[in-house]
Amino acid sequence: MSSPCLTSATVEILDAEPHHVAAVQAIYSHYVLHDLCSFEEEVPTVDQMQARRADVLQRGLPYLVALKDGEVVGYAYATAYRARSAYRHTVEDSIYVAQGMHGHGIGKALLREVIRRCTDGGFTQMVACVGNSANTGSLRLHESLGFEQVGVLRDIGFKFGQWVDTVLLQRALR
């Protein structure tokens, strides 16, 4: 069992363990099926999500869950920004909060811990690729923790019968 990285009166941020992944997959499936923030169109299985988690951990990057009253209410992780070696100092973050749990500081607590872990890990830059330029919640969250918008990829994805932008944000970690 992992020890908490951050605890408050309402949310506990922990390393994600295999037994958390079914809840992580349930949170993510909502975004795949109903939201433009993820460009994935088919819900990955729990086994696929387990493999993704294992890949993140194998690279020495954080994969975290937020627990409220013992229930997984959000998750976040960092991945390599790109595969080529010149990008080895740059990571990309991803954050998902359970429906009905937005506005409680869960995303901010998760992202703050991902930033801390990646900074401690020696990475120098973090990039956020926010699906859907109308995703103001994610944009505000990132900006509140020091990310700056550096570009927009217009009409880069096609989901639910519409073209969707991706907003690029960046934050120095050192």
CA distances (Å), origin 19, targets 2, 50, 147, 166: 12, 10, 32, 32
Tokens 């993140």 map to which residue? 56
- Between 127 and 1, the more confident residue is 127
Residues 131-144, mean pLDDT to the nearest whole number: 97
Separation of alpha carbons 126 and 92, rounded Å: 5
Cβ contacts of 84 within 8 Å, gap of 6 or more: none
Residue 135 has a pLDDT of 96
Residues 38-61, mean pLDDT to the nearest whole number: 98
On the question of pLDDT at 3 being above 90, the answer is: no
Residues 56-70, mean pLDDT to the nearest whole number: 97
Residue 1 has a pLDDT of 38
Alpha helices in the chain (DSSP H): 21-34, 46-58, 106-120, 136-144
CB atoms within 10 A of CB 97: 24
Average pLDDT, the chain: 95
DSSP letter (8 states) at residue 56: H
Residues 33-59, mean pLDDT to the nearest whole number: 98
On the question of pLDDT at 162 being above 90, the answer is: yes
> 148-159 and 162-172: which strand pairing?
antiparallel
Q: In the beta sheet, which residues pair with residue 158?
A: 163
On the question of pLDDT at 77 being above 50, the answer is: yes
Is the CATH number 3.40.630.30 carried by domain 6-172?
yes
Cβ contacts of 55 within 8 Å, gap of 6 or more: none
Residue 174 has a pLDDT of 87
Residue 151 has a pLDDT of 98
What is the pLDDT confidence band of residue 5, given thresholds at 50, 70 and 90? low
